[in-house]
Amino acid sequence: MTRIAIIGSGTMGKGIAYVAALNGFSVAIYDINTESLSLAENYIQQELIKSEQRGYISREDINKSLERITFYSDLKSAVQDCDIAIEAVLEIMDVKIEVFQKLDELCPPGAILATNTSTMSPTEIGAQTSRPDKVIAMHFFNPVHKMKLIEIVRGLDTSKETVQFVKNLGAKMKKETVEVNEFPGFITSRMNCLIGNEAMNMLLEGVASAEDIDKAVNLGLNHPMGPLALADLVGLDTRLRNMEYLHQTLGEKYRPCPLLKKYVKAGKLGVKTGSGFFNYK
Ligand code: NAD
């Protein structure tokens, strides 16, 4: 059984852990914040129960999935025998590099180190480790159990074997994959951040209400979800970090909308705090 260690148990880490355990992987999930770990445990239990109620899985699947997941507040214990570590911590390069340096030290020498970054450079992260050939970006989507895609982003030194390993892993998680040569924002975040930022600028300019902007994109452009509701789901703090990175690397058209900054300053981060462009309380 492939052993997956997941670093960070927030929005994405808990979703990756849930899908990996359901598909038969042994999962170790670690976070520096114990409250985040217990919220993740609760989320995974609730999602498994919902899946059973909808008739997708059996009670036995629930029990087996839960048996396969272990929650850790000690990084060394979480990663010491993993085949792959998937990092899902904050979208801040310095934080990711610090995590990868620790992973490089603590994971078995053959283990692959993947980042779930939405925008950043696996080359830059890999260069800070002794195994850049084994470093890659594996960009999952939110919510992980519903979204079919993983973007696989190859850094300059990522080996073919590493690409193949994560492609196989994605297939075993029942996901489709696309291969991307590293460039800021890959395919999806580069596109999606621009659409979301334009929607926020329209709201700021008074073009329409948040409800009508989302309704227009949903029904008129046939997007399954409006861009403001999607930004709320991603988390407005995470989206702002994505925009800042893309602004820095790709230029002016990615300047974050002032409204996005204002919401983040107010602590209105979207679904995870109960309010953002819409109210979830
Ligand atoms: P989040 O804020 O929900 O969770 C981040 C978690 O990382 C928190 O639980 C925090 O306690 C933990 N953490 C912080 N520093 C840590 C450290 N040094 N070691 C271990 N844990 C640490 O963030 P998120 O939305 O899950 O985003 C995580 C990554 O996934 C980011 O790189 C983001 O860009 C990417 N991503 C996010 C989405 C999305 O929709 N939210 C989608 C795809 C990719």
- Tell me the DSSP string of 171-224: HHTT-EEEEEE--TTTTHHHHHHHHHHHHHHHHHHTSS-HHHHHHIIIIIS--S
For the stretch 11-41, pLDDT in tens is 999 999 999 999 999 999 999 999 999 999 9
**What residues have CB less than 8 Å from 222, skipping those under 6 apart?**
none
The label of the residue with tokens 């300059």 reads: 156
CB 64 within 8 A of CB 20: no
The first and second tokens of residue 264, run together, are: 């983040």
Query: Quick one: average pLDDT of 96-114?
Result: 98
Mean pLDDT, rounded, of the chain: 97
The tokens describing 30, both together, are 């670690």
Instruction: Give yes or no for residue 12 CB within 6 A of ligand 1.
Output: yes
Among 12, 30, 102, the mutation site with the greatest number of ligand 1 atoms within 8 A of its Cβ is 12
Question: Does residue 143 have a cis peptide bond before it, meaning omega lies within 30 degrees of 0?
Answer: yes
Task: Give the residue range(s) of CATH 1.10.1040.10 domains in the chain.
Answer: 188-272
Q: Rounded CA gap, 24 and 15, in Å? A: 15
Rounded to whole angstroms, the Cα distance separating 206 from 72 reads 47
Q: Whose CA is nearest to atom 40 of ligand 1?
A: 234
Whether the CB-CB separation of 171 and 179 falls below 8 Å is answered with: no
The CATH class for the domain spanning 3-181 reads alpha beta
Q: Identify which of 77, 124, 238 to mutate to test ligand 1's pocket (most ligand atoms within 8 A of the CB).
A: 238
The rounded Å distance from CA 95 to ligand 1 centre is: 11
State whether the beta carbon of 36 lies less than 6 angstroms from ligand 1: yes
Closest alpha carbon to 236 in 177, 181, 193:
193
Longest dimension (CA), the chain: 55
Ligand 1 touching residue 9 (CB < 6 A): yes
pLDDT band at 261 (very low <50, low <70, confident <90, very high): very high
Average pLDDT over residues 50-61: 96
Please list the residue range(s) of the chain that carry CATH number 3.40.50.720.
Answer: 3-181
Measured distance CA(33)–CA(109) in Å, rounded: 27
Q: In the CATH scheme, what is the homologous superfamily, with its name and number, of domain 188-272?
A: N-(1-d-carboxylethyl)-l-norvaline Dehydrogenase; domain 2 (1.10.1040.10)
129-180 pLDDT tens trace:
999 999 999 999 999 999 999 999 999 999 999 999 999 999 999 999 999 9
Residue nearest to atom 1 of ligand 1 (CA): 10
Measured from the CB, is residue 185 less than 6 Å from ligand 1? Answer: no
Q: Choose one of 6, 11, 86 to mutate for the ligand 1 pocket test, by most ligand atoms within 8 angstroms of C-beta.
A: 11
Residue-wise pLDDT tens digits, 173-221: 999 999 999 999 999 999 999 999 999 999 999 999 999 999 999 999 9
Per DSSP, the three-state class of 139 is strand
**Ligand 1: does its nearest atom lie under 6 Å from the Cβ of 115?**
no
User: pLDDT class for 116, splitting at 50, 70, 90?
Assistant: very high
pLDDT band at residue 1 under the 50/70/90 scheme:
confident
Q: Is the CB of 231 under 6 A from ligand 1?
A: no
Secondary structure (3-state) at 181 = strand
Residue 95 CA: nearest ligand 1 atom is 18
The pairing of beta strand 112-115 with beta strand 84-87: parallel
pTM: 0.95
Instruction: State how far the Cα of 143 lies from the Cα of 140, in Å rounded to an integer.
Output: 9
Which residues, including other chains, have CB under 8 Å from residue 68's CB and lie 6 or more apart? 21, 24, 25, 26, 27
CB under 8 Å to 220, separation ≥6 — which residues?
none
| Residue range 226-247: mean pLDDT, rounded | 97
What pLDDT is attached to residue 219? 98
